Structure 1
């Protein structure tokens, strides 16, 4: 089992454990702190990341900025990839394709889905990520290409 998954599972049982885990992730990768995310669920093949709509992540029309959604999608895809790949492997994002489907006017949840991906082989893996608003509307879709190398 991957180290980050063990840490998440241990902390998630504690009060504020998900917040503590997310703080650690943002300490290691500081750029993600700019959106103030919360890693809400994490297991092989699935990650959910939430952000609150607040002034810092909005644009001039008071919707969640496109790049904030890219940021949360990359975080969800990266965390899900990290806990899904074999222990003796490395991964890095190498590309992202996005579609802005609807104005994002509320808090958001990004869900990275990797259950259908064969994580046991090397190469590029396309990770789908959906971002939904509080009403469940799909507002953004991304496909993040992760390059996986077995070591």
Structure 2
């Protein structure tokens, strides 16, 4: 089992473990700390990450800033890719296309999904991310292209 996914399973079962895991992600990738993400689900091919609306992520319209939503989408997509890689494979973001569909207010959840990766595959693989508000309305969508390939020897 992927080491990150193994850590998730251990910590998610403990009281406060999901918060500890989320902070660990922010230590590994410090820029994610700017949005204080909280991982709720993590599995091969899927992640759910929430973010609370706070003043520090506001735009001039008093809603969640577009780049904070991009950061949330990348956190969800990146961890989905990380736990979905077969042994000996690696990934890196290669591009992102986004659509802003409404004001993002309150606590929002990013749901990321990606297809299975074949061992030895070398390809651009899309990770779809939808961000939903508390009323379960989609306020933001992203497709993040991950370049996957075998690790160099």
Matched, 1:119 2:147: no
Query: Where do residues 101-140 of structure 1 align in structure 2 (5 Å cutoff)?
Result: 101-114=101-114, 117-120=115-118, 121-140=121-140
Instruction: State the 1:87 CA deviation.
Output: 1.6
Runs of 4+ that moved beyond 6 A:
none
Q: TM-score, normalised by structure 1?
A: 0.96
Partner SS state of residue 68, structure 1: helix
The one-character-per-residue Cα deviations of 1:101-140 (angstroms, maximum 9, x if unpaired) are 01112210000011xx241122110110000001000000
2:38 aligned partner: 38
Give the TM-score normalised by structure 2. 0.95
Tell me the residue number matched to 2:143: 143
Q: How many residue pairs are counted as aligned between the two chains?
A: 149
Gaps of 5+ in 2: none
Give the distance between the partners of 2:71 and 2:129, measured in 1 at CA. Answer: 11
Structure-1 separation of matches of 2:30 and 2:112? 20
Structure 1 stretches of 5 or more lacking a match? none
1:92 deviates by: 0.4
